[in-house]
C-alpha cells in the first residue's frame, strides 16, 4: 500500500533524480533537477544523501539492465519503492551504513556532482523569480550542449538571448564538467558556439 507523504517537495526531488537513471539521454535536465532540490530547501550535501541512499538504491538497477526502462517511472511505484528504501536505511546500524557506503557503486555519480554544482549556482540567486529564470537559461544551454531538441536562439528575445550568453562558458561549463569526457566537451562546446553564431544578426 502506498504510504502517504504530506510534504510534496521530496517527491518532486525523487522524481527528478530518478529520471537520470532512465536508459536515455537525461543530462539536459540537470538544471531542472537542481532547481527541484533548491526548492525543497536541500543543501548539496543533503541532495547527495537523497541521491545515494534513497533514489539510487531504488532505481539504480536500471543502468545495469541491457534493455532498461527508458520512457518514465510510474510515480506511485517510484514513491513506494523509495519510501521502502528510506525505512530500510534508517533501521541500519551506523557500521552497516558505513559498510554500505564503502561498497556502493554508483555509475551515475557524476550526474549527482553536476546537480550539486548547479544547486550552488542557483542557491546564490536571492530572488525566487530570478532563480527560476536562471534555471530556464541553464536548461536552454543544456539542450544545445547535449544536442537534445534545442530551440533556435535566434527566436529568443534579444535581451533574453544576451542573458543566456552571459552564462556561457561560465558558470555553465563548470556545472556540467563532471558528466562529459574531454572529447564530448569539445563537441558540446562547438554546438553551443555554433548556435550563438547562427543567432548573430547579419552585419
* Position 126 pLDDT exceeds 50: yes
What pLDDT, on the 0 to 100 scale, is given for residue 14?
96
Residue that is written with C-alpha cell 550542449 in the block: 145
| Each residue's pLDDT tens digit, 172-200 | 999 999 999 999 999 999 999 999 988 76
Average pLDDT, the chain: 85
192 belongs to a structural domain: yes
What pLDDT, on the 0 to 100 scale, is given for residue 73?
87
What pLDDT, on the 0 to 100 scale, is given for residue 202?
47
pLDDT band at 102 (very low <50, low <70, confident <90, very high): very low
Domain span at residue 188?
A: 8-199
3 belongs to a structural domain: no
100 belongs to a structural domain: yes
The H-assigned helical ranges of 91-150 are 94-103, 109-123, 128-145
The mean pLDDT of 139-154, rounded to a whole number, is: 93
φ/ψ region of 128 (left if φ > 0, alpha if ψ in -120 to 50, else beta) reads alpha
52 belongs to a structural domain: yes
**Phi, psi of 7, deg, nearest 5:** -85, 115
pTM here? 0.86
* Position 129 pLDDT exceeds 90: yes
154 belongs to a structural domain: yes
Q: For the chain, give the percent of residues with pLDDT over 90.
A: 64
38 belongs to a structural domain: yes
Between helices 109-123 and 30-39, what is the axis angle to 10°?
60
* Position 64 pLDDT exceeds 90: no
82 belongs to a structural domain: yes
* Position 63 pLDDT exceeds 80: no
Choose among 83, 65, 62, 60: nearest CA to 6: 83
pLDDT band at 99 (very low <50, low <70, confident <90, very high): very low
pLDDT band at 66 (very low <50, low <70, confident <90, very high): low
CA 200 to chain centre: 30
* Position 1 pLDDT exceeds 70: no
Asked if 5 and 11 count as a contact pair (C-beta separation under 8 A), the reply is yes
Between helices 182-199 and 128-145, what is the axis angle to 10°?
110
125 belongs to a structural domain: yes
The count of domains in the chain is 1
Residue that is written with C-alpha cell 534579444 in the block: 158
Amino acid at each position: 500500500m502506498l504510504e502517504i507523504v504530506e510534504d510534496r517537495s521530496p517527491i518532486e526531488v525523487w522524481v527528478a533524480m530518478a529520471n537520470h537513471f532512465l536508459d536515455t539521454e537525461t543530462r539536459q535536465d540537470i538544471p531542472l533537477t537542481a532547481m527541484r532540490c533548491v526548492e525543497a530547501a536541500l543543501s548539496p550535501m543533503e541532495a547527495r544523501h537523497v541521491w545515494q541512499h534513497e533514489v539510487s538504491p531504488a532505481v539504480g538497477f536500471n543502468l545495469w539492465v541491457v534493455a532498461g526502462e527508458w520512457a518514465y517511472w510510474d510515480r506511485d511505484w517510484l514513491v513506494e519503492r523509495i519510501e521502502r528504501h528510506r525505512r530500510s536505511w534508517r533501521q541500519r546500524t551506523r557500521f552497516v551504513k558505513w559498510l554500505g557506503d564503502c561498497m556502493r557503486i554508483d555509475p551515475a555519480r557524476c550526474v549527482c556532482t553536476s546537480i550539486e554544482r548547479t544547486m550552488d549556482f542557483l542557491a546564490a540567486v536571492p530572488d525566487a523569480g530570478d532563480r527560476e529564470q536562471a534555471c530556464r537559461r541553464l536548461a536552454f544551454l543544456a539542450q544545445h550542449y547535449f544536442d537534445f531538441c534545442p530551440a533556435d536562439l535566434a527566436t529568443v528575445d534579444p535581451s533574453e538571448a544576451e542573458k543566456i550568453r552571459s552564462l556561457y562558458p561560465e558558470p555553465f561549463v563548470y556545472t556540467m564538467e563532471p558528466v562529459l569526457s574531454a572529447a564530448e566537451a569539445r563537441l558540446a562546446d562547438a554546438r553551443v558556439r555554433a548556435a550563438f553564431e547562427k543567432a548573430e544578426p547579419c552585419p
